[in-house]
Copies of this chain bind each other. A is one copy, B any other.
Amino acid sequence: MVSIKDVAKKAGVSISTVSYALNGSDKVTDKTTAKIMAIANELNYVPNAAARSLKRQQTRNVGIFLTDFGGNFYGDLLQGVKEDLKQKGYALVVCSGTQSHRMLPERMIDGAIILDETFSNEELLKHADRGHKLVVLDRELNHPNINQVLLDNKAGAALAMEYLLEQGHDKIYAVSGPPGSYDSMRRLHAVRTIVERNKHLEYSEIAGDFDKPGGEAAAKQIAEEYARPVAVFCLNDEMAIGLYNYITTNTSLVIGEHIHLVGFDNIELTRYVQPRLATIDYSMRKWGALASEQLLKMLSGEPVDHERIYVSLVKGASVNPL
């Protein structure tokens, strides 16, 4: 492998001069710079990232940690992160699973965006204590090295509930995500607040798991208990689709008539089920872009403030007036 030493030798200058030239320092004269550049090109020289990281004590990589790669969910988020990072000279390392947990301590990345409940708060705080910069998307954490960009779950849940109430529904199910999920907790909390303010509602909760099987199980229970038209707020679309499937294939109930359904996330699938699934929309791409922007600011020492991603209601024929 050709190293800076080879370039130096061929150019007849010292290693340090080559380094300065290649990094665009104005210490070295234009003529020598040009010559060095030419030779570096000719030799196909590319600096060794490991050596550079070691010396610089920074990698110019940032990581993003996801629970898994499955689902379409993350595509746009990653796209948003990537686009923002690119022009700032940082590379993105996408990780999922146990390997993720090694990345920060081993200093393979300078900082990270976290959307992965397999990281405990303690672990994240420990990383932050050691000086790593973090942006969390799935929890609230108070630490100078941690910033958060959170979804406006409360507003989203309120939007969904109000939509159902406006349509006259008074028997309501909420299908929640895993107990530890921040998003699920925030959404559920908002739902309960609204329920408490509307004493006339007949309300119950079912624990889903933010996945299709969870939605199917909920559907089963709802179908068995069915007596009169109900409204169901699935705290994410994935479950709503699972529920949808179960209902349409295993029962004679119809969505939008007997069961009025609203989801959360506006995943692509919502557009393809009939009737269209009502849901809560927000820009994944913007979420990613904002997160990486914040992270880079932190890495360069700029002060940052917590940010919030706004949401909106997408109406659909899965909900009709009672």
Residues of A within 8 A of B (CB): 1, 46-51, 53-54, 59, 61, 68-72, 74-76, 78-79, 82-83, 85-86, 91-99, 102-103, 105-108, 130, 241, 268-269, 272-274
Contacts and interface: CB of A to CB of B under 8 A. Distances in A.
Nearest to A87: B98
Given A49-B108, A91-B95, A106-B47, A70 B76 contact: yes
B82 A71 contact: no
Contacts of A96: 78, 82
Given A95-B92, A268-B269, A272-B273, A107 B48 contact: yes
Given A69-B74, A94-B94, A268-B269, A46 B82 contact: no
Contacts of A68: 75, 79
A105 to B, nearest CB: 4
Nearest to A126: B44
Contacts of A51: 50, 54
A70 B59 contact: no
B79 A69 contact: yes
Given A50-B53, A72-B72, A99 B91 contact: yes
Contact of A78 (B69, B86, B93, B268): B69
Given A49-B106, A75-B70, A241 B54 contact: no
Contacts of A130: 1
A97 B107 contact: no
Nearest to A48: B107
A86 B98 contact: yes
Nearest to A99: B91
Nearest to A108: B49
B70 A107 contact: no
Contacts of A102: 46, 91
